Structure 1
Amino acid sequence: MFDLAYLILNTIGGIYLFILALGAVKKPGGRPAGPIDNYLVVVVTVGNERVLPALRETVAQLERLGLRYVVVSSNPLNMRNVLVVPREEDGTKYKAIRWFVLNYARPDTWYIFLDDDSYPLDTEFLRDIAYYGARGYVAGNGVIVPRPGRSKLAYALDWIRHFDDLTRYRFALEVLRRPIFGMHGELLIVRGDVLREIWPAMGDTITEDFRFAMELLKRRYKTFQTKTRVSIRSPNSLLDFIRQRARWAAALGEAVRYRNPIPPASAAVAIFLAAAGPLTALYGPTLATAVAAVYAAVYIYGSLRARRYIIDVLLASTLELLAMAAGVFHRQRHFYIIDKT
């Protein structure tokens, strides 16, 4: 039994380390290309008081970068370039984007979707679209970089998303060229004809970005990751952090529906690896321990960025798994809009 357990710990840890390393060494992009001009940035928002400060920050950054954009809002806004979703066509982010796609999306245009609290830090993604688009790629993502909200602890924990983008997600999008782990809605890049083909038909959901990724995977479309970093605002409280992660758990059910075993298996492996540290006392150091140490280092890095006590962040890191587990057993049916003031 000892030998079998030791073998399992090293096998799973070794595979996981290999995926992380392969993603980390892969550099996105290729030979420099001129930026495309047939694009539109689409910021999707509910447009109420809870999100207006973050939305104004996003719009200001888009204008600083000189990007062409439109705001698709559930409510009228006192700002430029706003499309208001008719009330009968609204209700979820999926429905709002569906209305936009059916009425405004063109097949010869690239669309870059942003949440109202996220914005790109540069315009390199326009060059990457030109490079990948010429080679038949149809969708891509940026690399998430968190910025502080009111909760320093949530900000520290959010650095794990940056690490995952540089490793696991880059492995999927740049090595496999398939979104096996899903895609995020911040800087979601889609070619117009593919957007029109998939989005209206895929059905309402609170995890629309993940379902869209599963549709791309089912159709064997090629995906990419751009070099551009996209700044996301971390939740203002640990409660909002937990609600956000619990909602993401719905993606596991979506994966089962699409017969993609990778996300549920990845979640199971995460739980297994979380126990690798204590198991060291029984089996000694293993490759699973090494993976646990890598993630602990990421949380320590987040604590330094947030200027929080390291022990606070390491203890709070269990909320990632606990919130996901809560989301599995108590499935959310409505999209909860976290506070962005």
Structure 2
Amino acid sequence: MIELAYVVSNVLGGLYLAILLIGLGQRARPGGGPEVENYLVVVVTVGDWRVLPALRETVGRLEELGLRYVVVSSRPLPFSNVLVVPREEDGSKYRAIRWFVKNYARGDVWYIFLDDDSYPLDRQFLRDIAYYGARGYVAGNGVLVPRPGKSRLAYALDWVRHFDDLTRQRLALRLLKRPIFGLHGELLIVRGDVLREIWPSMGDTVTEDFRFAMELLRRGYKVFQTSTRVSVKSPNSLRDFLRQRARWANSLHEALRYGNAAAVAAVALSAALWATAPLWVLYGPNLAAVVTGIYAGVYVYGSLKARRYIVDVWLASLLELIGLLAGAVRRTRHFYVIDKT
């Protein structure tokens, strides 16, 4: 039985390793070309005291880059370019965007959605929109790069998101051109006519970005990954980190609902590799251990960036799995706004 588990771990580890290496090997198209002119950046926020410091930073960065933007908020804000969502139309990020789409979105405009704690680090995505849009692509994403919040441990752990964007997400968005693993809500690029077609009828959810990706996948739309990096603020506490990951676990339910076996298999495969990697103690190194070692290296990188002890980060990495399991068992039905002060 153990011998069979060892063989299976090698097969699964080899498959996962191939996914990582093929994704990492995908290259962005050469830069250059004109920027798209018909675009609007949309920052979505609840607008209360917990998010205002991050929102101020985001607005400041957008203005530094000279980007056209509007803030869609649940509350009035001391900024220009603010649209306040009527109370009867509010209640979640999905509903706030639905109100914006129904009342303001135009079919001939590209919309770039940001959370209130995220902002692009350059304008390359505007050139990529022009390039990919001319070739029939309708949506895209950037590459997430974490920046520190108050919790150094959460910041260290968040570097796995960056690694996944360079590997699994890059495989899906650049090679396959399909959002099989979902899309981020940060720098979510969508052509206006497709946004108007899909978003109002999706139905309320706390993982609206993933459900939108599943709708794109079901319709066979092509998507891309821009080389623009997106700065996202890490949670201020491990408690918020857990709540965030538990909410993301809803994407498993969404994947099952849409019959997306690939997304569910990727999560199951990750868990299986963690479980079988210790078999190298009995039988020598295997491919599952190689993959586990790669992710251990990512956590080492995160610990160095965060100036935390490596062992601390390795132990805290279990919170990723705990949050996922908690969210899968007890489905999150309300959006919890984490502290971004």
TM-score range, shorter chain: over 0.9
CA deviation after TM superposition for structure 1 residue 281, in Å: 1.2
CA deviation after TM superposition for structure 1 residue 31, in Å: 5.7
| Match runs of 1:98-109 below 5 Å | 98-109=98-109
Give the structure 1 partner of residue 36 of structure 2.
Answer: 36
Give the structure 2 partner of residue 177 of structure 1.
Answer: 177
Give the structure 1 partner of residue 287 of structure 2.
Answer: 287
CA deviation after TM superposition for structure 1 residue 265, in Å: 1.3
Single out whichever of 5-14 and 239-248 deviates more from structure 2: 5-14
Deviations 1:189-212 (A, max 9, x none): 000000000000111000000000
CA deviation after TM superposition for structure 1 residue 29, in Å: 2.9
Is the contact made by 1:30 and 1:131 (CA closer than 8 Å) also made in structure 2? no
Single out whichever of 251-260 and 27-36 deviates more from structure 2: 27-36
Asked whether 1:62 is paired with 2:82, we answer no
Is the contact made by 1:32 and 1:131 (CA closer than 8 Å) also made in structure 2? no
| Match runs of 1:1-341 below 5 Å | 1-30=1-30, 32-341=32-341
CA deviation after TM superposition for structure 1 residue 272, in Å: 1.1
CA deviation after TM superposition for structure 1 residue 30, in Å: 4.1
Letter in 2 for 1:147: R
Q: How much identity, in percent, do the aligned residues show?
A: 70
Where 1:184 maps in the other structure, the secondary structure is: coil
CA deviation after TM superposition for structure 1 residue 6, in Å: 2.5
> Whole-Å Cα distance in 1 between the matches of residues 79 and 260 of structure 2?
42
**Root mean square deviation, CA, Å:** 0.9
> Whole-Å Cα distance in 1 between the matches of residues 283 and 233 of structure 2?
40
Letter in 2 for 1:296: A
> Whole-Å Cα distance in 2 between the matches of residues 2 and 324 of structure 1?
27
Is the contact made by 2:180 and 2:217 (CA closer than 8 Å) also made in structure 1? yes
Point out where structure 1 has 5 or more consecutive residues left out of the alignment.
none
> Whole-Å Cα distance in 1 between the matches of residues 29 and 136 of structure 2?
14
CA deviation after TM superposition for structure 1 residue 278, in Å: 1.8
CA deviation after TM superposition for structure 1 residue 264, in Å: 1.7
Letter in 2 for 1:340: K
Is the contact made by 1:147 and 1:234 (CA closer than 8 Å) also made in structure 2? yes
Point out where structure 2 has 5 or more consecutive residues left out of the alignment.
none
> Whole-Å Cα distance in 2 between the matches of residues 228 and 16 of structure 1?
26
Count of matched residue pairs: 341
Letter in 2 for 1:96: A
CA deviation after TM superposition for structure 1 residue 27, in Å: 1.1
Where 2:158 maps in the other structure, the secondary structure is: helix
> Whole-Å Cα distance in 1 between the matches of residues 176 and 21 of structure 2?
14
Where 1:300 maps in the other structure, the secondary structure is: helix
Is the contact made by 1:276 and 1:292 (CA closer than 8 Å) also made in structure 2? no
Is the contact made by 2:6 and 2:276 (CA closer than 8 Å) also made in structure 1? no
> Whole-Å Cα distance in 2 between the matches of residues 28 and 91 of structure 1?
38
CA deviation after TM superposition for structure 1 residue 5, in Å: 2.2
Normalised TM-score (structure 1): 0.99
CA deviation after TM superposition for structure 1 residue 4, in Å: 2.4
Is the contact made by 1:74 and 1:85 (CA closer than 8 Å) also made in structure 2? yes
CA deviation after TM superposition for structure 1 residue 24, in Å: 0.5
> Whole-Å Cα distance in 2 between the matches of residues 123 and 133 of structure 1?
16
Letter in 2 for 1:139: A
> Whole-Å Cα distance in 1 between the matches of residues 31 and 238 of structure 2?
42
Deviations 1:178-232 (A, max 9, x none): 0000011000000000000000011100000000000000000000000000000
Deviations 1:250-307 (A, max 9, x none): 1100000001112221111111111233221123211111000000000000000000
> Whole-Å Cα distance in 2 between the matches of residues 36 and 281 of structure 1?
55
Letter in 2 for 1:292: T
